[in-house]
Structure 1
Amino acid sequence: MNRSAGHIRSLGLLLARVGIGAVFLAHGLQKLNTWGHAGTAAAFDAMGAPLPDVTAFLATWVEILGGAALIAGLLVPLAGVLLAVDMIGAVFIAHIDSGIWVGDGGYELALALGAGALGLAAAGAGRLSLDALAAPRMGRKLRFAASPA
């Protein structure tokens, strides 16, 4: 890959990470600060989520920490996979019966966020990330993705 294409790729990954990460972070903070754990767990129970107290806690913190990790570019492959799993749960537990359109309570947003998170997990964080800064110091152990950062 030539140098210019590498810079464009890294800028694209940065913009994708920040955009997707911000939405996840906002949703996690909404669960924590607006609804609280009890309100989130009650909503999860009403949707038929298994172990609603546990899944509400996990979804809240995966979205907060995973969203922040995407924004910072830290452990992006791991964060991306965890966020994608979170969205698989959202699609099949909360939204599948309402069709695709988010305006009808459908899975459109959860599907897009999950696919975006999984794409970032596969692509890696790019050069403009904490992963890229830490990789040389860690002997490149943080480089999870097959493609160059």
Structure 2
Amino acid sequence: MLDQARPVVLLLARIALGVIFLVHGYQKFATMGIAGTAEFFAAAGIPLPGLAAPAVAGLEVAGGLALMIGAALPFAGTLLALDMIGAIVFVHGPHGLTGDGGYEFVLALAAASLAVGFTGGGAFALDSALTRRRPAQPAIS
């Protein structure tokens, strides 16, 4: 029974996590705007905020989509985890683990990104569909 549920559970986890990243990246483009995001990054001490803002927003949108469809999962999961580690270092860390502005949610996102990124994504992941082995064709004599 667990083996039958595993692909569905992995799909649901990938979609949930991907939606969170997609929405956060979209906010940086649409709600705050890249200029507003760059301003926030500058105030937080993030190096090269004018480059970092569109890069992080793009990563979160593209990485979220990659998680949802199950594409390039180790790569996407690692980059999203590094993104969240940066958020902890520059923004959430000084607020402690819990409480207002704390890093518990960001840490959970980093851990989930790595976990989902390195599970193989399950049967419903694009990565799995692309790497399925086809049966060997018999040699024609």
TM over 0.5, yes or no?
yes
Gaps of 5+ in 2: 135-141
- What pairs with 1:53-64 in structure 2 (closer than 5 Å)? 53-64=50-61
- Residue in structure 1 matching 2:15, options 5, 13, 18: 18
Q: Which runs of 4+ in 1 moved over 4 A?
A: none
> Secondary structure of the residue that 1:127 maps to in structure 2?
coil
Aligned length: 134
1:28-72 Cα distance to aligned partner (Å, 9 max, x none): 000011111100000000011011111112110110000011011
- What pairs with 1:47-86 in structure 2 (closer than 5 Å)? 47-86=44-83
Are residues 1:134 and 2:130 paired? yes
- For 1:124 and 1:117, locate their aligned partners in 2 and report how far apart those are by CA, in whole Å: 12
- For 2:3 and 2:55, locate their aligned partners in 1 and report how far apart those are by CA, in whole Å: 35
Matching residue of 1:38: 35
TM (norm. structure 2) is 0.89
- For 2:119 and 2:128, locate their aligned partners in 1 and report how far apart those are by CA, in whole Å: 13
> Secondary structure of the residue that 2:132 maps to in structure 1?
helix
- For 1:7 and 1:93, locate their aligned partners in 2 and report how far apart those are by CA, in whole Å: 42
- For 2:120 and 2:76, locate their aligned partners in 1 and report how far apart those are by CA, in whole Å: 10
- For 1:7 and 1:28, locate their aligned partners in 2 and report how far apart those are by CA, in whole Å: 33
1:108-133 Cα distance to aligned partner (Å, 9 max, x none): 11111110001112212111111111
Matching residue of 1:108: 104
Residue identity (%):
46
Residue range with higher mean Cα deviation, 51-60 or 34-43: 51-60
Matched residue type, 1:116 = A
- For 1:96 and 1:7, locate their aligned partners in 2 and report how far apart those are by CA, in whole Å: 40
CA displacement at 1:137 relative to structure 2: 7.5
Q: Root-mean-square deviation (CA), in Å? A: 1.5
- For 1:67 and 1:7, locate their aligned partners in 2 and report how far apart those are by CA, in whole Å: 25
- For 1:104 and 1:134, locate their aligned partners in 2 and report how far apart those are by CA, in whole Å: 43
Pick the structure with greater CA Rg: 2
